[in-house]
Amino acid sequence: MFEYAPAPESRSVVDLKPSYGLFIDGKFVDPADGGSFKSINPASEEVLAEIAEGGAQDVDRAVRAARKAYDKVWGPMPGRDRAKYLFRIARIIQERSRELAVLESLDNGKPIKESRDVDLPLVAAHFFYYAGWADKLEYAGFGRRPTSQHSGAYPQPLGVAAQVIPWNFPLLMLAWKIAPALAAGNTVVLKPAETTPLTALLFAEICQQADLPAGVVNIVTGAGETGRALVEHADVDKVAFTGSTDVGRAIARAVAGSRKKLTLELGGKAANIVFDDAPVDQAVEGIVNGIFFNQGHVCCAGSRLLVQESVAEQVLESLKRRMAQLRLGDPLDKNTDIGAINSAAQLSRIRELTEAGAAEGAQQWSPPCELPERGFWFAPTIFTGVTQAHRIAREEIFGPVLSVLTFRTPAEAVEKANNTPYGLSAGIWTEKGSRILWTADRLRAGVVWANTFNKFDPTSPFGGYKESGYGREGGRHGLEAYLNV
Amino acid sequence: MSERVAVRKTYKLFIGGKFPRSESGRSYLVQDSNVSLASRKDARDAVVAARAAGKGWAGATAYNRGQILYRVAEMLEGRREQFVALGVPADEVDAATDRWVWYAGWSDKLPQVYGGANPVAGPYFNLSAPEPTGVVAVVAPETPALLGLVSVIAPAIVTGNTVVVAASPTAPLAAVTLAEVLATSDLPGGVVNILTGRLSETVPTLAAHMDVNAIDLTGVTDPELAADLEVKAAENLKRVLRPVAAGHDWSADPGLGRMTALLETKTVWHPKGV
C-alpha cells in the first residue's frame, strides 16, 4: 500500500460561533427555558459549539411564525417569486459550498471527499431542481382538480410542515425536506439531529442572506423531546420524518386521527446481489461503495451481500484485498475513505450488533486498520457464514459492517433479498440484461441499483416499501408529499 | 295449482373465490336475510387468500387486468335488475358499472402517467414505475351500498393489489351480490375477498395484521375508531387512507388519489456505457 502524506482541508473557512440560538421568524433567538447542549466533532470529541435546546414553547413559537408566514407571505406569493428565492438559496449554497462541506465533516465525521463531492453538489442541485417546480405545479401531473376543491390555483400546498431529519446526511436531508416543501408553497419548521445541527444553522444564515421572508423557514434544534413537540403540535398540517423505523412508528401513532399528512423515510437492510457472471472488480467497488460509503451510516446501504455460491470465494478474496486499501482517519483529510462514527451512542450500537454477530457464529474479519485514539471509530468489517436468522442479517447496523450470505439460484436470491421487513433499496450485479430486469421486477424495494450503487439525484424518487416507510422524496413524486392531492 | 315456493339465497362470505359461511357458524339478521357474521378468524383467512392471490394478480399484464375489470362491468350490467331488486337505485347501478369501465382503462395508463424516465445528472438509465403495495384492507362506505363499494375496490385492484373488504354492516346484500358478479368475471379467486358482519370484529384484526400492507378507512364513521385503527396500522407502517368526510359525493370524478395511495414507486438505475 502507498504511504499517503496528510492532506487536510483547512478548517479556517468555517467561522464557528461559541453558541447558537434557535432560528425563528427570521432571527436567531434564545430558547424560552434557556436549555442547551453541545455539538462535538466525533473525530476528536472536541466541543464545536453550544446549541440551544428548543422546548414545547419554542416549538409553538416557531409553528406560529411559520403559520403567519404561510398565511401572509409565502402562501399568497406567486410561484415564480417563490422559485426565485429557491434559486437564490441554491446559488448561495454553491458559492459557500466549501464552508458548508468543511462544517459538515467537522460536525458529522464524514470524509471531506464525500461532503465536498457528494453531499454539497446534491444539496445545491436539490434546491435548483425544486425551484423550477414552484411555478409549474399545475403541470406536475396530479390530475384534475377534485370537484370538491375550492377555487384558486391547483394543486394547493398543505400549510405548515414539521420536518425532523437524521444525522447521517444533515444538510442533504435538510435539502430533501425544505426544497420541495417551499416549492409547493408550504412553510416549515425543521428540527435537525442533535448531534449534527451546525450546517442547518448555517443554512438559516443563508436564508437570511437570501432575504427569504421571515418565518418561511424555522430551525428548532434539540433532541427527541423537541421533535415530539413539533410532530404533535396541533397547528401542523404535514409531518415528514427521516430516521429509524421505531421512531417512524411512534410518529405514525402520534399523528393517527389527525389531518396531518405523513411521509416517512426509515431504515433499511438492503441486499446487494452478485450473480456469477458479474464483473468482479466492478462488483467489488459497488459492494465497498454500498456499505462503506459514509461509514455505513446510510439507510439504503447495501448491508447484506448476497453472492452466488460459485463465485463467493473469488468475490470475497477481491473484496478483502480492496478493503485493505481503505484509508480510515481524519475526516478533513482529502485522502480519507472512512471517517468517524457519528456518536458514542451509534458506536456502541454497532459494537453491540457485531458482538452479537460473532456470538451467533458468524466469522468476523477486518483488514489491519489503526484507529485514532480520540473520537469514535470502527474498522470496516465483514461477516461471513451469516444465516438469515442472525441479528446482523436482520437488524439495521448503520455502520461499516457487511453481512455476507450466499445463494445458488436467482429465485433463492430474490427470496432472501425480500426476506426482511424493510424495503428501501437493493443492488444487482450481472452482465445479463434480462436477468437484471427479472430480478428488479421481483425485489420489493423502492430503489434498485443495477451494476451501480448509492446513486442519488434530485429528479429520481427515493423511498421505501414495507417498514422502510412511505412517500417518496425527489422528482415529481417528491412534490406530492407537500401538496393537497 | 299452488303458488311456486321461491328458492331463497343464502348470503355468505367471499374468500379466495369461494363462498364459505363464517367459520364461527354465526349469522345476523339484516335486510330481511340471515347474513354471515364474519369472525376474526375469517378476517385472517381472507388475508391469507389475498396474499396468495397477490403474486399472480400483480404479475398479470396490465392489459389482462384491464380486460378483467371491464368484464366485471359487463357482468354487472347484466345483473342490473338484481341490484335494483335489492333496493339499489338504477342510477347507482349504472354509475357503478361505469366506474368499473373507467378504472379498467387505467390499468395500462397509470404507469405512464404516474411513472417515467428521470433525467438524472449523469450517464444513467433511470426509470420510476408504480407497483402495487400488496394486500389492502378496505372498510367500504356505509352508503351508497354499491357505488361506494365499487369506488373503493376498483382503484385498489386495478393496479395489482388484492383486497379484503369489510362490507357495509347495514347494507351487505349488495356486497355479497357483487361478489357473485366478481366470481363470474374471470377475476382470480382471492383478489377480492368480502367480509360481512360487525366492523368492530373484523376491522381491528385487519388493521393490526402484520401481513396487510395498507388500510383504507373510508367507511369508518367514528373518529375515535378511525384513530385507533390508524394506531394499530402503525405497527407495520401500513399505508393509511383516512375516512372521507360525511356527505362525500361518490358520483364525482374520483381522480387518481385512490389508486396512487395504494402504490409503491420503484426506481431502477443502470449505468450507460460501452
- Report which of B82, B57, B98 is spatially closest to residue B179, judged by C-alpha positions: B82
Q: What's the pLDDT at A153? A: 67
Q: In angstroms, how far is the first alpha carbon of chain B from the final one?
A: 87
In angstroms, what CA-CA distances link A377 with A215, A244, A374?
Answer: 39, 21, 9
pLDDT at position B1 is: 66
Q: Is a pLDDT exceeding 90 seen at residue A221?
A: yes
Instruction: Identify which of A264, A450, A463 has the shortest CB distance to residue B268.
Output: A450
The domain ranges of chain B are 27-271
Q: Which helix (H) or strand (E) holds A59?
A: helix A56-69
* CATH 3.40.605.10 assigned to B27-271: yes
Q: For residue B59, which phi and psi values (nearest 5 degrees)?
A: -85, -10
Q: Which residues of B touch A147 (CB under 8 A)?
A: 249, 252-253
- Output the pLDDT for position A112: 98
Cell numbers that stand for B257 in this block: 388519489
Compute the distance between CA of residue A406 and CA of residue B50 in angstroms, rounded to an integer. 31
Q: How far is CA A336 from CA A170, A292, A325, in A?
A: 19, 12, 11
pLDDT at residue B41 tops 60 = yes
Q: What is the helix (H) or strand (E) element at residue B271, kind and residue range? A: strand B263-271
Average pLDDT for chain A: 96
> Chain A: residue nearest B272 by CA?
A451
Q: Where are the domains of chain A?
A: 19-266+467-480, 271-457
Residue A150 in this model has a pLDDT that exceeds 60:
no
Integer Cα distance of B206 and B46 in angstroms: 10
The fraction of chain A above a pLDDT of 90, given in percent, is 95
Who's near A316: CB < 8 A, 6+ residues apart? Answer: A307, A382, A384, A404
Least confident of A183-197, B1-15, B139-153: B1-15
Cβ atoms < 10 Å from Cβ of B165 = 29
Interacting residues of A49 by C-beta distance below 8 A, sequence separation 6+:
A16, A17, A18, A19, A20, A38, A39, A198
Handedness of CA A8, A11, A12, A13 (dihedral sign): positive
All three cell numbers of A340, joined, read: 468517524
- Residue A146 pLDDT: 55
In the 8-state DSSP scheme, what is residue A397?
Answer: -
The H or E element that residue A448 is part of is: strand A447-450
pTM above 0.95, yes or no: yes
DSSP state of B236: G
Q: Is A444 within 8 Å of A423 (Cβ atoms)?
A: yes
Cell numbers describing residue A251 = 410518529
Which of A114, A194, A265, A467 is catalytic? The answer is A265
Is pLDDT above 70 for A2?
no
Which pLDDT value is given to residue B12?
Answer: 97
Residue A143 reports pLDDT greater than 80: no
pLDDT, residue A3, reads 79
Facing residue for B237 by CB, picked from A146, A249, A472: A249
Q: Which fold has domain A19-266+467-480?
A: Aldehyde Dehydrogenase; Chain A, domain 1 (3.40.605)
Q: Choosing among B232, B259, B270, which should be mutated to test the A contact, i.e. which has the most A CBs within 10 A?
A: B270
Distance CA A309, CA B183 (A): 45
pLDDT band at B274 (very low <50, low <70, confident <90, very high): confident
Three cell numbers, residue A43? 473525530
- Residue that the C-alpha cell 401538496 belongs to: A483
Banded pLDDT at A34 (limits 50, 70, 90): confident
* Phi, psi (degrees; rounded to nearest 5) at A374: -100, 160
A112-122, pLDDT tens digit by residue? 999 999 999 99
Which percentage of chain A shows pLDDT scores above 70?
A: 98
Distances (CA, A) of B50 to A94, B14, B161, B229: 51, 11, 9, 20
Please name the residues in contact with A161: beta carbons below 8 A apart, sequence gap of 6 or more: A66, A177, A181, A186, A187, A188, A189, A236, A237, A238, A239, A240, A482
Is A33 a residue whose pLDDT tops 90? no
pLDDT of residue A128 exceeding 80, the answer is yes
Whether residue A457 and residue B126 make contact (CB cut-off 8 A), yes or no, is yes
- B135-160 per-position pLDDT tens digit: 999 999 999 999 999 999 999 999 99
B273 in contact with A at a CB cutoff of 8 Å? no
* Alpha helices (runs of H) in B124-172, residue ranges in sequence order: 147-157
CA distance A219 to A240: 14
B239-262 tens-digit pLDDT: 999 999 888 999 999 999 999 999
The DSSP string of A171-238 is HHHHHHHHHHHHHHT-EEEEE--TT--HHHHHHHHHHHHTTPPTTSEEE---SHHHHHHHHH-TT--E
Residue A69: which residues within 8 A CB-CB, separation 6 or more?
Answer: A25, A187, A213, A214, A215, A216
Q: Residue B263: helix, strand or coil by DSSP?
A: strand
Q: Rounded to a whole number, what is the distance in Å from the CA of B183 to chain A's nearest CA?
A: 28
Over 80: is that where the pLDDT of A144 sits? no
The predicted model gives A349-367 an average pLDDT of: 98
A352 is known as an active-site residue: no
Q: Which residues pair with B103 in a beta bridge?
A: none
> Please, what's the largest Cα pairwise distance for chain A?
69
Would the CB atoms of B213 and A466 count as touching at under 8 Å? yes
Average pLDDT over residues A370-396: 97
Residue B129: its H or E element: strand B124-132
Give the nearest partner residue to A460 out of B126, B226, B248, using CB atoms: B126
Average pLDDT taken over every residue of chain B: 97
> In this complex, do A448 and B213 lie within 8 Å of one another by their Cβ atoms?
no
pLDDT for res A142: 84
Rounded to 5°, the CA angle A184-A186-A191 comes to 120
C-alpha distances in Å from residue A205, one per residue of A22, A26, A116, A162 = 11, 9, 20, 20
Statement: A271-457 belongs to CATH 3.40.309.10: yes
Q: Confirm or reject contact between B55 and chain A (CB < 8 A).
A: no
Task: Give B180's pLDDT tier (boundaries 50, 70, 90).
Answer: very high
CB-based contact, A239 to chain B, within 8 Å: no
User: Which DSSP string corresponds to A400-432?
Assistant: SEEEEEEESSHHHHHHHHH-SS--SEEEEE-S-
Q: Yes or no: say if A85 and A212 are a contact pair by the CB < 8 Å rule.
A: yes
A450-480: per-residue pLDDT in tens?
Answer: 999 999 999 999 999 999 999 999 999 999 9
| For residue B195, pLDDT beyond 60 | yes
Residue A147 has pLDDT above 60, yes or no: no
Task: Give Cα A309 to chain centroid, integer Å.
Answer: 33
Q: How far apart are CA B183 and CA B176, in angstroms?
A: 11
The pLDDT tens digits for A233-264 are: 999 999 999 999 999 999 999 999 999 999 99
pLDDT value at residue A11: 94
* Number of neighbours of residue B211 by Cβ within 10 angstroms: 12
Burial of B247 (0-12, 13-18, 19+ CB in 10 A): exposed
